Amino acid sequence: MKNPVFVLIGAQVVLYLLYIVGSGVYRTLTVVGALRRYPDGAFAKDEVIAIPDSIHCEDLHYHPQSGTIFTACEDNNETRFKWFPPLANLDHPELAARSQGSLHVVDPKTMLSQRLEFENFQGPFITHGIDVIPDSELPDGEAVYIFAVNHVPNTKLSDGKGPRARSQLEVFHHIIGSSSAKHLRSIWHPLIRTPNDIFAASATSVYITNDHYYSEHGPMRAIEDFYGGAKWTDVVHIQLDSLAAAEPTAGLTATVALDKTHNNNGLGHGRSEREILISDCSGGVLRIGQLPAGSGSGNITLVDSVKVDSIVDNPSYFADPYASNPADDRSGFVVAGLSRAIDFSKTMRNATAKDPVMVTYIKPSLGSDNWETRVLFEDDGTKLRTASAAVLVPLDPAADSADGAAGTRKAWLFVTGFMSTSIVAVKVDL
Ligand SMILES: *[C@@H]1O[C@H](CO)[C@@H](O)[C@H](O)[C@H]1NC(C)=O
Ligand SMILES: *[C@@H]1O[C@H](CO)[C@@H](O)[C@H](O)[C@H]1NC(C)=O
Ligand SMILES: *[C@@H]1O[C@H](CO)[C@@H](O)[C@H](O)[C@H]1NC(C)=O
């Protein structure tokens, strides 16, 4: 007969293991949306404004000094379904080679989008993540640098071998209020392999995420997507000697600033100059990191993380300009993502499919170290197909008081997706 004590301990170990494995499985099923349903008519019921001429814009950056939003768009309904290396869609390099998306400025007052004309830039522009930072040599608010990922096809494949995309970064300069963006240089380095998003600490110190280790479709890439233990991606720091190099590879050094992390995706500026937001996309986690002190060299230190119930794409930080005291402060992070990522491998090449979305607002919980999360916007994909970035544009409570009870605060939430026909805006309570 077996010793009853060992039987008891054995049962406890089994229960404990089931609990650990079970909670991990439950978390994964939640994040990929397997437990979520969108029956007919489950779309967002609030008034949703669609911004004209904003096709397939992946990222959004709010520039408070000018009160405008910057984005990069495909401007075309087709290319994204035929060539988008971040989704391992490498079907039509020849279409990509003759496609050129553009940078746009969206005005939250008129709800219109303006395409910026390029100066000094030809060739393909397959858009993805961007960053927008002030030109510190001019008075605040006069001009910005715009950094953008560009997924150009690799035209120099030897015998059809090697990576089929040769993704690089583009640097532009834009005078606020003008109608153009001047191209300064391109950036390429072997460490830039699967770039997703950009964080510019200054005009010459830039971080990028590589979102996958495996750039092509297959079982290893599937493991990378769904197994959080596959910590195979990194964040690369690029130090530029010059903004005027003629060759993409000239005048720069690159180093790995954060290694062995899972599915690094969007990057965002946080609450201080040194705070960097890094999303673990398919893990549904917003990570908060600190840049090294001083300029550039050194590693990023991760200091905190927040779990979200959908996959997490580009994060943004909303700094509440109307907070009168800590209890009244609506500052927080905003993340957007697919809310049924589980279906995405079936829909990603289908121009008429829907992909449901979720936008989550993350605020420090007053008087504790915890975070509060709240879903600000959810849609079955009817009003917005795919969500990859969201920003809040505050509404002045004095001007807007007729709209709600005392103490309530409103903002415009702008959300976009890498496969959305347009950016949308919806008024939300904070
Ligand atoms: C893109 O598709 C949308 C929705 O199908 C359509 O309304 C729009 O006219 C198309 N735009 C272009 C430039 O083809
Ligand atoms: C950064 O991290 C790498 C490992 O990923 C390590 O080899 C390197 O020494 C670190 N650099 C600094 C300055 O801490
Ligand atoms: C594309 O999506 C639409 C809408 O869900 C669906 O009716 C159609 O069958 C899909 N096409 C393919 C080829 O899967």
User: Residues 203-231: pLDDT tens digits?
Assistant: 999 999 999 999 999 999 999 998 899 99
Ligand 1 centre to CA of 70 (Å) is 21
33-47, 363-377, 396-410, range with the lowest pLDDT: 396-410
Q: Determine the pLDDT at residue 20.
A: 65
**Does the pLDDT of residue 276 top 80, yes or no?**
yes
Q: Determine the pLDDT at residue 398.
A: 85
Which atom number of ligand 2 is nearest to the Cα of residue 257? 1
Ligand 3 centre to CA of 32 (Å) is 20
**Does the pLDDT of residue 313 top 60, yes or no?**
yes
Mean pLDDT for the stretch of residues 57-70:
98
Nearest CA to ligand 1 atom 5: 421
**Does the pLDDT of residue 311 top 60, yes or no?**
yes
Nearest CA to ligand 2 atom 2: 299
pLDDT over 70 percentage in the chain:
94
Mean pLDDT for the stretch of residues 395-406:
69
122-131, 193-202, 405-414, range with the lowest pLDDT: 405-414
DSSP string, 329-352: ---EEEEEEES-GGGHHHHTT-TT
Say which ligand is closest to the CA of 260.
2
CB distance 38 to 356 below 8 Å:
yes
Question: Residue 73 — very low, low, confident or very high, per pLDDT cuts 50/70/90?
Answer: very high
Ligand 2 centre to CA of 204 (Å) is 21
**Does the pLDDT of residue 44 top 90, yes or no?**
no
Q: Determine the pLDDT at residue 5.
A: 65
- Verify whether ligand 3 is closer than 6 Å to residue 3 (CB atom): no
Ligand 3 centre to CA of 426 (Å) is 28
Nearest to 92 by CA among 102, 80, 101: 80
Q: Which amino acid is at 169?
A: L
pLDDT over 90 percentage in the chain:
83
Q: pLDDT higher for 408 or 309?
A: 309
- Compute the Cα dihedral for 373, 378, 381, 383 and give only its sign: negative
Tokens of 369: 């170290």
**Does the pLDDT of residue 421 top 80, yes or no?**
yes
Helix (H, G, I), strand (E, B) or coil at 366: coil
Mean pLDDT for the stretch of residues 96-122:
98
Match 């910005």 to its residue by tokens. Answer: 144
- Verify whether ligand 3 is closer than 6 Å to residue 382 (CB atom): no
